[in-house]
Amino acid sequence: MELENKRESKVISKNIDVFYGDKQALFGIDLEIYKNEVTALIGPSGCGKSTFLRCINRMNDVIDICKITGEIEIDNFNIYKPDVDVVRLREKVGMVFQKPNPFPKSIYDNIAYGPSIHGIAKDKNEMDHIVETSLQKAALWNEVKDRLHEPGTGLSGGQQQRLCIARAISINPEIILMDEPCSALDPIATAKIEELIDSLKRSFTIVIVTHSMSQAARVSQRTGFFHLGKLIEMGETEKIFKNPNNTMTQDYITGRFG
Amino acid sequence: MSDEHIVKSYDEELQHLNDSLVQMGSLTEKLLYDSMNAITTVDKDAVSKIVESDAKINKFRSSIDQHIMTILVKRSPVAIDLRYAISTLKISQDLERIGDLAKGNAKKILPLPDDLPPEMLKRIESLGEMVQKQLKSTLDCFIEKSVQKSLDTIKSDEQVNDLATASIKEVLEFLSKDKKNLDFATNLLFVCKNLERAGDHLSRICQNVHYLIEGDYPQK
Ligand SMILES: Nc1ncnc2c1ncn2[C@@H]1O[C@H](COP(=O)(O)OP(=O)(O)OP(=O)(O)O)[C@@H](O)[C@H]1O
Ligand SMILES: [Mg+2]
């Protein structure tokens, strides 16, 4: 367990409100995400977890009816300032979704796509290197190194998800957002992703939305509980699952929510 | 416990656990009473029944173990439910140990020597009663899930310790007067010590009730 005072803030959310048209989805979210840690967001369906996650890389910008107020600071810099380069931001904050969504391209091209549009690799050699290290970091290299030019969609679900993680890693992000990355996977594939998440936190800051309480307990250092668009409680994962402060948190995680 | 689970059978499993532990507790109460009674009335015939009740208590303990394992596997309990499973597991172990100690005491029955000072026997009787009272309030604090009662009960264990120490001193004095009472006095020393230990187990149970409710152990 790292000590509180050694922790460094990576993301700070300050009074974030989100509206979809007239409907408010998030209410004054204040929270802090620490560098090189895994933060889990839990809560009942529709409570705003994905909405909050999308605030961190401004993915909500692409939803026309979505309005956001408040600030999100990454490394003490407000990403909602008018002049922010959103493409640069998304380079810094990668995302992995619930359903593995490889491009209909080869395994190699799935990884190479990002670095090439962001102009990260100088030449073929460098690109090969990025592809290899990304797949290695995503614990997929050994399984695919002999079939790099086969389609990514031909992999198993768990492999596809690791491919998507490799793709997210390939552009050297600092933060990786994961929205229920294991919900379509079997226990073995889930265990591999969880193992991977644990090793990735050395290089990245990870925020994961999950419906599995035991997954949140296993992979994260801190957990935030959302309910009806509000952050009800945020704290050390161990504390949340052993002795939460809030009865709503307790009711939800113990399965007492009506 | 607060509100009901969405899954009704989960509540039933926890309720069953609660009921088993309370039943185990009242069997232990009875055993402790019978054992003290057998010692002070020199009732050797009671011993076989006491051994039987102790075996029954042990069975309760292992069925509670099994039940808790099932809950852990099926429900992956967290927060209050997790603390409930962990603390009932420990509480049943302490109850079992108290049963063992009471049985051990009953097995030590010997005829009372003629020169036994009546106050000495009285004092050991009251030590037994005090531990029985502690057992009762311990079970109450589990049934009521009362933090205050658990703290009070832990506190009054000091009185058990004091009385046990005084009784032991008295038995030693008695022994030093006449070595012919060696066997009887040694047994009585065991009885006192076992009662004191039973008190310690009761304090541990109260600490676990505190943990169950508050999520931490009481400050020393
Ligand atoms: N694109 C959208 N347009 C309109 N409303 C939306 C949109 N996305 C989300 N919402 C609404 O915002 C609220 C929060 O949704 P969100 O998807 O963030 O919840 P969630 O916690 O991720 O739920 P789940 O666990 O089911 O994924 C919901 O009421 C939802 O209907
Ligand atoms: Mg969602």
Tens digits of per-residue pLDDT, A41-68? 999 999 999 999 999 999 999 999 999 9
Mean pLDDT confidence for A167-176: 95
**Range A109-134 average pLDDT:** 93
- In DSSP notation, B34-76 reads HHHHHHHTT-TTHHHHHHHHHHHHHHHHHHHHHHHHHHHHHH-
Q: Could you tell me the residue ranges of all domains in chain A?
A: 2-253
Beta strand A77-78 pairing with A66-74: antiparallel
Mutate to test the pocket of ligand 1, among A17, A49, A177, A252 (most ligand atoms within 8 A of CB): A49
pLDDT bucket at A184, cuts 50 / 70 / 90: confident
Q: Give me the half-sphere count of Cα atoms (radius 13 Å) on the Cβ side of residue B156.
A: 17
3-state secondary structure of A24: strand
Residues from chain B that touch A258, judged by Cβ atoms under 8 A, are 3, 6
DSSP-based three-state secondary structure for A9: strand
Burial label, A125 (beta-carbon count in 10 A; 0-12, 13-18, 19+): exposed
**Contacts of residue A108, Cβ cutoff 8 Å, sequence gap at least 6:** A131, A148, A149
Find out whether A55 and A177 touch, Cβ atoms under 8 Å: no
Q: For chain B, give every domain's residue range.
A: 3-214
Q: According to the model, what pLDDT value does residue B89 have?
A: 97
| Rounded Cα gap, residues B154 and B28, in angstroms | 19
Task: Give CA A167 to chain center in angstroms.
Answer: 13
Among the partner residues A217, A241, A251, nearest to B3 by beta-carbon distance = A251
Work out the average pLDDT over A173-178: 97
Beta bridge partners of A69: A17
Instruction: Grade residue A201 by pLDDT with cuts at 50, 70 and 90.
Output: very high
Q: Is the pLDDT of residue B1 over 50?
A: no
The answer to whether the CB atoms of B6 and A255 lie below 8 A apart is: yes
Q: Which helix (H) or strand (E) holds B17?
A: helix B8-40
Enumerate the residues of chain A whose CB falls inside 8 A of the CB of residue B217: none
Please state, in angstroms and rounded to a whole number, the distance separating the CA atoms of residues A49 and A40. Answer: 10
Question: If 0-12 CB within 10 Å is exposed, 13-18 middle and 19+ buried, where does residue A136 land?
Answer: middle
Residue A43: predicted pLDDT: 97
The residue of chain B with its CA nearest to that of A240 is: B79
In 3D, which of A88, A79, A75 has the Cα closest to residue A120? A88
CA B3 from centre of chain: 30
User: Residues A2-27: what's their mean pLDDT?
Assistant: 90
Tokens of B81: 């439910």
A213 CA to centre of ligand 2 in angstroms:
15
Please name the residue ranges forming H helices in chain A: 49-56, 86-92, 107-117, 124-137, 141-144, 157-170, 187-200, 213-219, 237-242, 247-253
Q: What is the CA radius of gyration of chain A?
A: 18
Nearest CA to ligand 1 atom 4: A20
Higher-confidence residue: B57 or A3?
Answer: B57
The full length of chain A comes to 258
Distance of CA A109 to the CA centre of its chain: 22
* Gap between the Cα atoms of A86 and A203, Å rounded: 22
C-alpha to C-alpha distance for B177 and B184, rounded to whole angstroms: 13
Q: Which residues contact A239 (CB under 8 A, 6 or more apart)?
A: A245
What is the percent of chain A with per-residue pLDDT over 70, rounded to a whole number? 98
Parallel/antiparallel/unpaired status of strands A23-34 and A9-20: antiparallel
Kindly report the CATH class assigned to A2-253: alpha beta
CA distance A132 to B95: 60
Q: Which of B2, B5, B83 sits opposite A247 (nearest CB)?
A: B2
Q: Is the pLDDT assigned to residue A72 strictly greater than 90?
A: yes
Lookup: tokens for B112: 């009372």
Q: Is the pLDDT of residue B2 over 70?
A: no
The predicted structure's pLDDT at residue A192: 87
- Across A253-257, B83-87, B111-115, B173-177, the highest mean pLDDT is recorded for B83-87
Distance, in Å, from the CA atom of B79 to the CA atom of A186, rounded to the nearest integer, reads 26
- CA gap B77, B1 in Å, rounded: 14
pTM of the model: 0.88
Please indicate if any CB of chain B lies within 8 Å of the CB of A5: no
Q: Which atom of ligand 1 is nearest to the CA of A180?
A: 27
Q: What local confidence, expressed as pLDDT, does residue B179 receive?
A: 87
pLDDT in tens, A227-241: 999 999 999 999 999
DSSP result, A49-74: HHHHHHHHTTGGGGSTTEEEEEEEEE
Q: Name which residue sits closest to atom 7 of ligand 1, judged by CA.
A: A20
B4: which chain A residues are within 8 Å (Cβ-Cβ)?
256
What is the reported pLDDT for A3? 54
C-alpha span between A167 and B180 (Å, rounded): 88
Q: How far is CA B184 from the centre of its chain?
A: 24
Q: What is the pLDDT of residue A185?
A: 84
Q: What is the pLDDT of residues B179-209, one digit of tens each?
A: 899 999 999 999 999 999 999 999 999 999 9
Q: What is the pLDDT, as a whole number, of residue A195?
A: 92
Would you state the pLDDT for residue B108? 87
Q: What is the mean pLDDT of chain B?
A: 95
Q: Say yes or no: domain B3-214 is CATH 3.30.1360.120.
A: no
Mean pLDDT, residues B56-68 = 97
B184 contacts: CB under 8 Å, gap ≥ 6? B110, B111, B112, B113, B116
pLDDT at A4: 55
pLDDT value for A89 = 95
Across residues B31-35, what is the average pLDDT? 97
